[in-house]
Structures are given as C-alpha cells and as structure tokens.
Structure 1
Amino acid sequence: MIGKEEGIKGYWKGNLPQVIRIIPYSAFQLLAYETYKKLFRGKDAELSVIGRLAAGACAGMTSTFVTYPLDVLRLRLAVDPGFRTMSEVALTMLREEGVASFYYGLGPSLLSIAPYIAVNFCIFDLVKKSLPEKYQQKTQSSLLTAVVSAAVATLMCYPLDTVRRQMQMKGNPYKSVLDAFPGIMQRDGVIGLYRGFVPNALKNLPNSSIRLTTFDFVKRLIAASEKEFQRIVEENRHKQSQDASN
C-alpha cells in the first residue's frame, strides 16, 4: 500500500526526526554505559552481573532523559498529520501545553528503557566474555551475540514500551503506569501489551545489533591502536636509552 501510493520514498517517511534523535541518544547511551561500568566495579576491579545490569539501566535512563524531548517530538510528528516539521510541533506544544509536555510519559519511558538496556548490554557482555578468545575478536560473533541479547531484551520489556507510547500521546486516559497496565489489559487483553511487537522487533533488532556490534568493533580498534602506540613509545624510549649510553 505504501509503495503504491507514495513510492519507495514512502518507506523512509519521517525518518529524519528519528535520525536526529537516535544519534545523540546512542552516543549518550554507549558513553554512559562505559562510564557507569567503571563506577560499579568492585574492589577487585571486576564487574559483577548486578554491576553490569545497574550500569546498563543507568545508561539507558541517562540517554533517555537527555534526549526525551526529541522522542516526544518524533512521536507527535508521526501520528499527527497536521504537523510537517519538528519545529512546528515544538512551537505548538510550547504554546498549547507548556514546557512540561516535552516530558509527558518520562516516568514510563525510564521504567521501560532501564530493564531493556540492562538486559541487552548485560547479556551481550557476558556472552561475549564466555566465548573462546579467538571468537571474541570476530565481528560475526559480536553481531550474533548482539542479535540474541536484543531479542531477549525486546521480548521481556516490550509491555513497558507499549505503556510508554500510550502515555506520550496527547489526551491519553492514563495517569500513571499502574493505571495504564490494567487499563490496556482491560481494553485489549494481554495481547494489547504486545501490540505492534513484530514490526517493532523487525526495526529494533537490526538497529540495536548494528549499534552494539559497531561500538564493540570501534572499542577493539581503539584498544589495538593504543597498544600499538604504547609499543612504539617503548621502542623509541629504548632506542633513546641505548643512544644515551653510547
């Protein structure tokens, strides 16, 4: 239907707002995760499973809080045909609903993203760590591990995401998460909590997998570069010592 009416471009309609949101969101999330992992390390410098889960949860909430207004604008732009640009949505929201409208549904969003990122990142790290050394350095292993971790996290946490989207909408009938869960179940049954799961999974799995795989690859690349740099520094220092002694 979309292809016939709007052509190939129709499949990318509204993609720019998503790109504008996802770039800072991913950057904050991955940077925050590495930072929180350092904070949650134990006295032995090891990171426990609980520490990984906590780091992931905190990273997810941090990135969500920082970029949340962009997510609200993106959603409003997608569902309201009366708006054409994000700036138009933002000005209308400011005029009619105030600054607080940019954070409608923040609580459910934090509650939904915290377990998702916690499970996703924790499984990814633990599975990668459990692989034989020769496989840990392979991009294919990172990609497969990322797909598995994203699939498990998506299946576990999707109902919270459903509640989040409901509460972001203007005029939603729910006052809190505790109000939204029984409300959705009463109206649509348990299946209502998983409405849109398949399209979401088809979008989210490659998105999350590519992001984690790319980040893991870049980390390994940086680590290798730092190691090579240290080797060169040591060689130069050794040569200088030899020249001085001669």
Structure 2
Amino acid sequence: MPRVAGKEDSDKSSNLDVAIAGSTAGVISRFIIAPLDVVKIRLQLQHHARDASIPPTYRGMLHAMSTIAREEGITGLWKGNIPAELLYLTYGAAQFYTYRTTHVALSSTGILPRSAQDFVAGGAAGAVATFVTYPFDLLRTRFAAQGSGDLRIYTSLAHAIRTIYTTEGIPGYFRGVSAGVGQVVPYMGLFFTTYEPTRAFLTRHNEAGALSLSGYESALAGGFASTVAKTGVFPLDLIRKRLQVQGPTRDRYLQKDIEVYHGMRAIVQREGMRGLYRGLGVSLVKAAPSSAITMWCYEVVLRALQSAHGDSAR
C-alpha cells in the first residue's frame, strides 16, 4: 500500500495519483479473479445441515466451477461483474486514499508506534471504503447468486437497483452493512499490519536495496498479508454474504436452501464450527493472488504516474 515516507507525499497531486493507482489496480484484479469470487459466494450461501441426507449442490471449488460453467455457460463465472467492477473501482480509490491520508496524519502526531499506525489506518480505510461502496457489493452478491435465463431475478443492473428500491427501500441496499464494516475493520487492520513489515523485509533483502522494477516484493507481501487477514475474519465475511441475500427474493436464488438468517450462533448449532468457514479454501485461493495482483498493479501504476510528473520520489 502507499508508503508514508515524508512531507512530499502529502501534496494533493500525490493523493490523486494514489486514488487513480488504487482504482486501476482494483479493476484489473477484479476481472482476473471474478470466477473465484462467484464460486466463493455460491459456497458461502450453501447450507449444510449436520444430518442432511441430500448432497450439497456444490462439492468444493472445482466441482462448483465446472457445474456453473456447464449449466450456466462460461459467462456464468463472471456473473455480477459490472457492479463488482464498479465496486472495485470506487473501493480501490477510497481505500488507498483513506489509508494514505490517515497514515500521514497519525505519523505527524508521533503518538502511536508504526505497527499501530498501520492497523488504525488500515481499519479506517476499510471502513470508509466498505460503507461508500456497499450497495455495489450487495448487487455483486445477488447477481452471483441468481440463475440464468428465465431464472434471473434481476435482468440488468438498472432493473436490480429499481427492484430493490421498490421492494426493500433504501435500507435494502445496505443489508448486512454492519457485518461488512465489522469484518473489514479487523481485516484491513491485520492486512496492513502484516503487509507493511513483510514488504519492508523483502525490500531490505533486495539486491538493489529498494523496490525492484518487477514489484515482486509488493506482490508477495500482499498475497501473504491477505491470507493471514482473510483467515482471521472469514466467519464475518460469510455472515455478510448470507445477510445480503435476505429479503423478498431469498427463495428465488439458485440455491433454494438459503435460510432466514438467525445469527452466528444458529450457524454453529445447525452446521457446527465448520459452517462458519464454508468457502474458506476458495476464498484463500482467490484472496492471495487478488491481493498480489492489486499490490503489484498499484505499485506499477503509481510509479508510472510519478514518472509522468517528473518526480521519482515516493
């Protein structure tokens, strides 16, 4: 993520570069990992009762991916990509910008140690970005959960926006937002707290003594940090997804076993502790390369923008 090295990093032009680089990185990363995201959402929504005699619709990541491709076509793996791209476009800009400006403010006070600054700035960035972009996240989830052809609940992005407003009102766009913010604050805090020292360690051991042109330090650090953070907060992510498909269309999605949400305790009682980690495997498979791609793209784009400004200092 953006490094806070000195006073020159706080000017308006540099902040704009951060927002542009963050948006670009988010859009590229999203398109590449979209199929894994669709599979993760389907697995998270799938209900497994302890005594269930009927096998689940999807028996793991590869089975889910092949089933979706076979029954819904290859484009089924990119369902919800338009609202997801809008989500990642705005989320990337808000996240990177908030992280950077918060980190600059905290660094100027000198009150908190660096690791605490990383955690607080990361949590703030996640909270702001999640709330601002949450309607896109909800739309992405609902499109990924619905069927194709005559089984579609929403025929287009505009139709989805109108339908949710008509049947659920403004609160409908924010179903599960408290769980979303509650999940992303510790997630982003853990991510940045892990990412910054990992990237610094890799950079120190680079022969050039600085970030290489390939940006592999940022990619490796991003992948590792994402794995650590995602594992730590995954149950909250699962709860958010189940909340997002509640409402009047709950029984119209492909997976007919989506229950009325009753909270984390109900999931544990019905599905055991394992129920809180449905889709963790594919989530980690998605999260590590997604963060690696995001961080690499961010570094490359930011460096290109700064070179265009004639300023090589970060």
How high is the TM-score relative to the length of structure 1? 0.82
- Report the 3-state secondary structure (helix = DSSP H, G, I; strand = E; otherwise coil) of the residue aligned with 2:107: coil
> Match for residue 13 of structure 1?
79
Relative contact order (C-alpha < 8 Å, sep 6+): which is higher?
2
Q: Which amino acid aligns with 1:33?
A: Y
Please, which moves more after superposition, 22-31 or 215-224? 215-224
> Match for residue 172 of structure 2?
101
> Match for residue 137 of structure 1?
211
- Pairing 1:21-170 to 2, within 5 Å after superposition: 21-44=87-110, 48-80=114-146, 81-131=152-202, 132=204, 134=208, 136-138=210-212, 139-170=215-246
1:143 touches 1:210 (CA, 8 Å); kept in 2? Answer: yes
How high is the TM-score relative to the length of structure 2? 0.65
Please, which moves more after superposition, 202-211 or 141-150? 202-211
1:74 touches 1:86 (CA, 8 Å); kept in 2? Answer: no
CA gap 1:3/1:168 in 2 versus in 1, 3 angstroms: closer
Q: Could you tell me the percent identity over the aligned residues? A: 29
Q: Which amino acid aligns with 1:163?
A: I
Q: Structure 2: how far apart are the matches of 1:221 and 1:47? A: 31
CA deviation string 1:57-99 (max 9, x = no partner): 0000000010111111222222233212121111111111111
> Match for residue 265 of structure 2?
182
Please, which moves more after superposition, 28-37 or 15-24? 15-24
2:106 touches 2:117 (CA, 8 Å); kept in 1? Answer: yes
Q: Structure 2: how far apart are the matches of 1:40 and 1:225? A: 29
Q: Structure 2: how far apart are the matches of 1:185 and 1:166? A: 14
CA gap 1:213/1:122 in 2 versus in 1, 3 angstroms: farther
**Structure with more of its chain in helix, by fraction:** 1
Instruction: For structure 2, list consecutive stretches of 5 or more residues without a partner in the other structure.
Output: 1-66, 147-151, 248-258
Instruction: For structure 1, list consecutive stretches of 5 or more residues without a partner in the other structure.
Output: 231-246
Q: Structure 1: how far apart are the matches of 2:112 and 2:275? A: 41
Q: Structure 2: how far apart are the matches of 1:38 and 1:6? A: 47
C-alpha deviation, 1:7, in angstroms = 4.4
